[in-house]
């Protein structure tokens, strides 16, 4: 299931053209989609803040309530992983939109076949290149929110002072979940291993295993117990063999 949000203040265009076109494309591609239409950006922001994430977001740039570029920036601050397509009546907007990391820029005056081709490309790119992700509830600056993180971006998860923390290459996040075993049970079959009590590591991020610690791809060390060392070595070896097979 691909979740798609479409936001455009032109309600007629939203319902009769772009919405129907996405439905037509998904049917032709035999891809199951869930489409949510928004006539204003603030409601879409509320959805993201409530953890109702989307895989693909299609935004009209020219909206009075909040323009698509500002909206994209605010949505990216909540979830940076979604595929983004801009719609606009002004082609020159493309030069001011590059920094928003969009996957498609679609002028509304394109021929319908060209608009369809661009939308099809975005959906196809998502289907073929989308990494498996997990949704986490986190605490940031005292407030709870939801963030979707590709599994391949997670280095490790650990319990410290009765709080679960998740480390990526870019940041450390505080999780609302407090039970380590619940997280461990969920991720054991997703390429993770317990090298030490209260640690869960992504084996694909390990570059070297020493006597009592492992070195990760960012140079950071995590502890490895004697009991878990042999199993960790095997888990890393299995991961390497699987990668070579592909």
How far is the C-alpha of 68 from the C-alpha of 59, rounded, in Å? 6
pLDDT confidence tier of residue 194, bands split at 50, 70 and 90: very high
Gap between the terminal Cα atoms of the chain: 25
**pLDDT of amino acid 99:** 59
Average pLDDT, the chain: 86
Residue 200: which H helix or E strand, with range?
strand 199-202
pLDDT confidence tier of residue 96, bands split at 50, 70 and 90: low
Starting at the edge strand found earlier in the chain, the sheet holding 206-209 runs 206-209, 213-216, 221-223
Q: Is the pLDDT of residue 93 over 60?
A: no
Query: What is the three-state SS of 58-124?
Result: EEECCCCCCCHHHHHHHHHHHCCCCEEEEEECCHHHHHHHHHHCCCEEEECCCCHHHHHHHHHHHHH
Q: How many residues are listed for the chain in this entry?
A: 246
Q: Is the pLDDT of residue 49 over 60?
A: yes
CATH fold, domain 133-245, is: OB fold (Dihydrolipoamide Acetyltransferase, E2P) (2.40.50)
Residue that is written with structure tokens 């603030």 in the block: 42
Q: Is the pLDDT of residue 202 over 80?
A: yes
Higher pLDDT, 99 or 124: 124
User: Class assignment of domain 2-129?
Assistant: alpha beta
**pLDDT of amino acid 19:** 86
Q: Which of 108-112, 197-201, 209-213 has the lowest mean pLDDT?
A: 108-112
Instruction: Supply the pTM of this predicted model.
Output: 0.56
pLDDT digits 0-9 by tens, 124-171: 888 877 667 788 889 988 888 877 788 888 999 999 999 999 998 878
Domain ranges in the chain are 2-129, 133-245
């Amino acid at each position: 299931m691909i979740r798609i949000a479409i936001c455009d203040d032109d309600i007629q265009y939203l319902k009769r053209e772009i919405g129907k076109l996405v439905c037509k494309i998904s049917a032709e591609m035999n891809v199951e989609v869930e489409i949510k239409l928004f006539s204003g950006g603030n409601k879409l922001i509320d959805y993201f803040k409530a953890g109702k994430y989307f895989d693909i977001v299609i935004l009209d740039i020219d909206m009075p309530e909040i323009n698509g570029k500002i909206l994209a920036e605010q949505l990216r601050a909540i979830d940076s992983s979604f595929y983004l397509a801009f719609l606009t009546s002004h082609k020159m907007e493309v030069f001011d939109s590059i920094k928003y990391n969009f996957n498609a820029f679609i002028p509304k005056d394109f021929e319908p076949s060209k608009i369809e081709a661009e939308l099809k490309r975005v959906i196809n790119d998502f289907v073929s290149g989308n990494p498996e992700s997990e949704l986490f509830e986190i605490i940031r600056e005292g407030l709870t929110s939801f963030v979707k993180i590709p599994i391949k971006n997670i280095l490790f998860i650990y319990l410290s002072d009765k709080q679960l923390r998740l480390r990526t290459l870019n940041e450390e996040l505080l999780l609302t979940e407090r039970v380590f075993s619940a997280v461990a049970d969920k991720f054991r079959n997703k390429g993770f291993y317990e090298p030490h009590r209260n640690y869960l590591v992504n084996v694909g991020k390990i570059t070297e295993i020493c006597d009592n610690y492992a070195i990760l791809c960012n140079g950071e060390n995590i502890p490895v117990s004697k009991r878990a060392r042999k199993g960790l070595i095997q888990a890393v070896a299995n991961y390497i063999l699987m990668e070579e097979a592909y």
